[in-house]
Structure 1
């Protein structure tokens, strides 16, 4: 036995197992063939989608659908709403129509009545025409009291005065500022509003308060109040007095200054002596011919007998009156009187005797044109 170790085992070269190799090759060929088929068919479909017309309804449409275009919506957003509501057949049909119509970029926010299964181009034609907006237009003039505003809202909408009053009993729901102390008098801004078909009283009143907030911000109401030494609510009260007293925009700043001068000097012993506040206390519209008994009405709103400002606004002031209260014209006037009822011409003075002369002229002309003297 050799000492170099055990003899090595003899072995033969192994032949490869051809059965398994053939199977792998067949599988590989099948995968490749499937991939080529999938790629080819997918490419064909992509080309077909690229160059064929998108699905669209032939029209003319039927029924009625109310759709809303919201702030910030683009053509894709609007098209998806139309698809979801069954108005157009495909998003692509609508966006293609929008691309070829330059007016599509000017679609206004709001509600539109369209039909089901419309051609996309026809649906777009409805949306680009602002005359098709569904809305209720309500105009609130300057100088109305809260109850008068509610009457207009009830008359021109589908809701009752009681429904609006119930919302007004929840001032937080409409965004009234804390300094309004829960009273919306003076804070429902006079303007023309376009209410949508889904708007409820709370939505309408909220829009009016939001529009007031815009006017207050434009006039820097809070900053002006701090500068003048009053509260924002007091400035709103002054704005309402300006609205009731000034007939012309150019006089509003002067009327505001007269009010401040009367409050801050002893010229009238702190009495504003504004007849509009007496009428408010009496619950009636502004007018001439207040009796001595009227002037003595027991109310904190009667500025004939109570010095200082009334508890709050007496009517709804507009932009110009709020601006005047926040930024009164500089001057030392204490008195004013309208000397021409037709033009609204108003004279201002710091001299009582001159005021009486102006007043006598106004009274004489008034008596000449009426039978009330």
Structure 2
């Protein structure tokens, strides 16, 4: 082998070397062709992908949608946790919107759509998707029946108010009151008196009498929990049911800022039955009125008191608490029952019904003086007494 051959002379030295050199010479133009082909294919792929995306976008933005305001009525319920997709599917199934895509596009275009509240809404069939969204983003469009139950109503009065403001009869509510699923606490012994909490309620379009009453009992349970009813009752040495009865008496008798003082009078009479003055008798007019089938704390005649002398609600003849609450107490009265003000009072008289001024004493003689003051007030304000 020559020296030139060892140094890699570019001239062929063997037939095999010649073939390798030939392949190297052919590789250059072959690679160039391949690159050109890949570039063409790549461009075509990009064009295909982008065109496909644009077609999808076009399909989404031009999704089926109704043009008009729609017709008829469809009540649709948005449930807690529903996504825009879930709402869109529900509305499409109900015939409100033409497509889920149209609804989602309309929702995305409305910044308020993230705040759609759960509830039932009155919509139309074949609505434009943006119009449907506009209805849903306004909470004032939630379909509901609003009923306000004031403090101090008896069950019979609450039933009458519910029947007046809904499409159900008194009989239907009275039947629901007997349902074991009402949710009353065990110490209520199945009697709802005092446990239908006074508040403002929003009832949905599908709510039945039992649903409404359960909502009211649940609201009472919330108040009981918030006020620590069971624990504080135990601290005072009473059952939760007894505290609710005391709260109902305070609700019936209390005015203005005097509830905690009235609470103390009740406890003083209950806990000192041998005081030689009241002898454990609460002598609360409102409870006797309950026995008479009346409400409120209007003054009683001797004949009225004697007519229900055997009733356990007659606190002039029966010592201790009545067997159940006599009406529905609100938060303030429950709190007053759990937090009686310190004092040794045994009597109270509201001497001015216009202002609610109430006077307290532990002296029977002073109590009689307060009664005279009340009678003088009534002589000049007969329309209030």
Fold match by TM threshold 0.5: yes
For 2:280, the equivalent position in structure 1 comes to 270
Alignment of 1:13-162 (within 5 A): 44-50=51-57, 52=59, 53-55=61-63, 56-162=65-171
1:218 correspondence with 2:216: no
**Match 1:355 to one of 359, 367, 381:** 367
- Pick the structure with greater CA Rg: 2
Alignment TM-score, normalising by the size of structure 1: 0.84
For structure 1, which runs of at least 5 residues remain unmatched after alignment?
1-36
For 1:187, the equivalent position in structure 2 comes to 195
Greater CA drift, 359-368 or 103-112: 103-112
Query: Partners of 1:372 and 1:200 in 2: how far apart?
Result: 40
For 1:293, the equivalent position in structure 2 comes to 303
SS for the counterpart of 2:132 is helix
For 1:259, the equivalent position in structure 2 comes to 266
Query: Partners of 1:312 and 1:98 in 2: how far apart?
Result: 53
SS for the counterpart of 1:348 is strand
Greater CA drift, 352-361 or 337-346: 352-361
For 2:316, the equivalent position in structure 1 comes to 304
Query: Partners of 1:221 and 1:134 in 2: how far apart?
Result: 35
Whether the aligned pair in 1 keeps the contact of 2:197 and 2:219 (CA below 8 Å) is yes
SS for the counterpart of 1:134 is coil
For structure 2, which runs of at least 5 residues remain unmatched after alignment?
1-43
Query: Partners of 2:346 and 2:83 in 1: how far apart?
Result: 57
Query: Partners of 1:86 and 1:41 in 2: how far apart?
Result: 36
Query: Partners of 2:115 and 2:362 in 1: how far apart?
Result: 55
For 1:207, the equivalent position in structure 2 comes to 215
Aligned length: 336
How far does residue 337 in structure 1 lie from its aligned partner after superposition?
1.1
Query: Partners of 2:172 and 2:383 in 1: how far apart?
Result: 43
What is the CA deviation profile of residues 26-68 of structure 1, one whole-angstrom value per residue up to 9, with x for unaligned ones?
Answer: xxxxxxxxxxx99986774444223550512222323321101
SS for the counterpart of 2:160 is helix
Whether the aligned pair in 2 keeps the contact of 1:87 and 1:114 (CA below 8 Å) is yes
Whether the aligned pair in 2 keeps the contact of 1:54 and 1:90 (CA below 8 Å) is no
What is the CA deviation profile of residues 251-303 of structure 1, one whole-angstrom value per residue up to 9, with x for unaligned ones?
Answer: 11111121111111133211111010110001113353422122232200111
Q: RMSD of aligned C-alpha atoms?
A: 2.4
Query: Partners of 2:360 and 2:79 in 1: how far apart?
Result: 50
Query: Partners of 2:328 and 2:134 in 1: how far apart?
Result: 40
For 2:21, the equivalent position in structure 1 comes to none
Whether the aligned pair in 2 keeps the contact of 1:220 and 1:326 (CA below 8 Å) is no
Q: 1:254 to 1:78 in 2, by over 3 A?
A: farther
How far does residue 322 in structure 1 lie from its aligned partner after superposition?
1.2
Query: Partners of 1:368 and 1:193 in 2: how far apart?
Result: 40
Query: Partners of 2:73 and 2:294 in 1: how far apart?
Result: 47
